[in-house]
Amino acid sequence: MVVWRLTDGKPGHESQSRGLVQALARQRPLQCHDIPVAGGAALPDLLRRRFPAGAGLPAPDLLIGAGHATHLPLLAARRARGGRSVVLMRPSLPAALFDLCLIPEHDRPRPRDNVLTTRGVLNDLTGDGPHHADRALVLVGGPSRHHRWDQEGLLQRLARLFAARPGIRFTVTTSRRTPPAFIPALERLSAPNCRVVPLDRTGPGWVARHLGESAEAWVTGDSVSMLYEALTAGCRVGLLPLPASGDDRITRGVAQLLAEGWVGSFDQALAGDGLPPARSGFNEARRCADSILQRWPRL
């Protein structure tokens, strides 16, 4: 099977499409060609039935893209060279233009034959790993359109968490959105069971490796993709709340995870209820790969 993976250079989008390709590769021999498409002349290529970025490559059986910048190129590549188009997340163009759309349920997609609703966004993690009982990973996001940043409140919760679990070795890491002032403030807590590893001291695969080694993960409420990464990795997951800016699809999605017991609330966990058990076998990339191969068995 020949797969063209169209990429826009954004790490989150690339993680989604890479996760789907890896899940397909576990079931079927394939060759994947990564094609950067950001900044290309997609509309003229579509109209002229051409796709220069794929010149010299074998014709695709499957075209995969995540991110708005990949949508027109997906259509141009399919028109020029054939293959089935699969878009991840709600497309900026009508869904009917694509062969399959993998859309998170918090986006409330309309039921269509070519729409598969997913639980959160896909990622490239698996549930493999020792998940040591004495290790936990803390994933810190930052201010966003959906959540306000409350540094003092977050630091107070982390101090309570570290003190309540002296036998757990916590590793805290940050994201591109984390304000710079957070790291020195966290280090001033001087918790003996807390190690701080800022984003710029991590590397490719660092988060996946540490999630695999940790029995539990604590994630700030703005970081929906990291919540689903922790769930996919097979961790017990706790939510570190941040103030919501309003009622929208992201905040509703997080509230749904809490209500359905996929993640645990901070207050309940520290009151003695603990965290919900890990979701064994949860892997949306694998489920989507299964669906694709069932939909098109001759790929």
Is residue 197 within 8 Å of residue 91, measured between CB atoms? Answer: no
| pLDDT for res 168 | 96
Mean pLDDT for the chain overall: 94
Q: How many CB atoms lie within 10 A of CB 146?
A: 20
Residues 6+ apart with CB under 8 A from 294: none
CATH number given to 132-273: 3.40.50.2000
Give CA–CA dist 82/96, Å, rounded. Answer: 17
Token output for 273? 């209820």
Q: What is the pTM of this model?
A: 0.93
Question: What's the mean pLDDT in 264-272?
Answer: 93
So what's the architecture of 2-124+285-295 in CATH? 3-Layer(aba) Sandwich (3.40)
> The sheet that has 169-173: what strands, in order across it?
194-197, 169-173, 132-139, 214-220, 236-240, 264-265
Token representation of residue 6: 């169209």
Give residue-wise pLDDT tens across range 147-159. Answer: 999 999 999 999 9
Q: To the nearest whole percent, how much of the chain has pLDDT over 70?
A: 100
- Domain extents in the chain: 2-124+285-295, 132-273
In one letter, which amino acid is 80? A
Decide whether 2-124+285-295 matches 132-273 in CATH topology: yes
